[in-house]
Amino acid sequence: MMKQWMTGWLGMVVFCVGLAVHADDRAQDVREAIVKVYTVHNLPDYYNPWNMRGTQSSTGSGCIIEGRRILTNGHVVRDQTFIQVRRFGESRRYQARVLFVSHQADLALLTVDDPTFFDDVEPLSFGELPFPQDEVNVYGFPVGGDTLSITKGVISRIEHQQYVHSSVPLLAVQIDAAINPGNSGGPAIVDGRIVGVAMQGVPHADSIGYIVPVPVIQHFFADIRNGRLDGIPSLGIVPQVLENPDMRRHYGMEEEQTGVLVAALAHGSSVDGILQPEDVLLSIQGHLIADDGTVEFRARERTSFSYYVQENQVGETLKMDVLRDGESMSLEIPLNHPMERDWLIPMEQYDILPTYYIYGGVVFVPLTKNLMRMWGPNWANAAPKEFVVQLQNNIVTEEQDEHVIGLRVLAADVNQGFHGESNWFIETVDGVKVRNLGHLIELVEAGEGNEFVEFRNPVGRRIILDRQKVKKEQESILAIYRIPEDRSGDLL
């Protein structure tokens, strides 16, 4: 898997780039709408979930659009505590605030309450999805200097890519114009109009950068039109390609039919009760799905079939042709769920505090991508393997909508003998299978009349605590470790 970096976060890979820029009048007009974004972040500590990791500062880029708004990346303002912006060619910084942020699409809208910030500037407008080999200019404030940088290149390819900020595969545009840390949120311009927002690059490749394209930006704008962010819908399925001819015959497909198999589906998802495992998806919104899971979104251009799911808003309806037991049928799918509700393990989360519960010094947390990333940039290899492997089957089931982890043990008399235990999957409490962290708390509190409470992991190992001893020591454990509450605010 290629490692990518987000271009707004300081401390990432820096490239040395030399470029001479010759600006015309249109480029000069674009410059007037470019802003530098200064952000102070305070990140949660998912290993000590009652603490924060302390403030950090970063810079990014953005541009002024209609409605006295500034468009930038979600990761530029992630976990922010204070934001300032500065217009091109000016020295004064203005305090800004977030209006909306979509961390899945890595987009954010800011505003400045001081109306003078927007004086004498023409907002930038949006173009269409560009074509490969179109010339593109990227505007921003990358590391290596403080003044505006403009780099020039061409559109290289357009297809689904995993957004580093959210781990969500969405439509992305690859460009060869140089983008570096600090460029994040800056506009990519074709013919004087925004065609995307710079977001990430591949550090060990030659001139590979990615922008959030116009269709994803417009989806974000349409989503927030009613004053709230609903997110990006998903089918809630695990698809499998059908490139093997014998596998296609096994599922009763005709020679001319193509499609993908529904290998599994998330409990409670948009398709739960409509699609079934081993259905074959033949077409979506009238577009044939190829055996490799791609669709044609423009003539001779292909990307993931999820393109036609993600162009819809949550609450809209999708048409699909399906092959079930050798019979073709047409179905309408109400896209009622944003994709994050289908995940057993949440992907990267921002602007929220960690969830935790402490009982007898044992720290219980849900397994999240944020927790895994506490093992550092190489988390995929450094985090416990039993955590990472769960990402391979990351859908909610009828029995479970959260993995609960016994993260660590805060040493105390009541938990003597368990001080070295960590990173446990909690399968049962007093013999009852745990559905989520809230359910674990219910089971612990429901058994108050019993002498002991037993936490068991999937291989049968146990942590057994004396309830009366826990009751006596709980308050002192929290005081010794300077923990304000036995659970996070969302569980109080």
User: Active-site residues: which are they?
Assistant: 75, 106, 184
**Cβ burial, residue 342 (10 Å; 0-12/13-18/19+):** buried
Cα separation, 213 vs 123, in Å, equals 18
Tell me phi and psi for residue 389, to 5 degrees.
-65, -25
- Amino acid (one-letter) located at 329: M
Closest by CA to 214, choosing from 235, 191, 230, is 191
Cα separation, 86 vs 59, in Å, equals 11
Distances (CA, A) of 405 to 21, 372, 435: 54, 12, 12
Q: Which residue is it, tokens 């690859």? A: 174
- Amino acid (one-letter) located at 320: M
355 neighbors 488 (Cβ within 8 angstroms): yes
Nearest-10 Cα torsion for 177, 181, 182, 186: 40
Task: Give the start-end residues of each E strand in 404-482.
Answer: 404-409, 424-425, 428-429, 432-433, 452-456, 462-466
- Amino acid (one-letter) located at 180: N
Cα separation, 457 vs 469, in Å, equals 22
CA 424 to chain centre: 25
Closest by CA to 318, choosing from 349, 350, 295, 352, is 295
Q: What does the block give as tokens for 30?
A: 């674009």
Q: What does the block give as tokens for 233?
A: 């819908």
Distances (CA, A) of 464 to 362, 413, 430: 11, 13, 9
Q: What does the block give as tokens for 137?
A: 């200019």
Cα separation, 370 vs 348, in Å, equals 6
449 neighbors 365 (Cβ within 8 angstroms): no
Bridge partners for 169 per DSSP: 162
Count of CA atoms in the C-beta half-sphere (13 A) of 456: 11
Count of CA atoms in the C-beta half-sphere (13 A) of 309: 29
Cα separation, 309 vs 282, in Å, equals 14
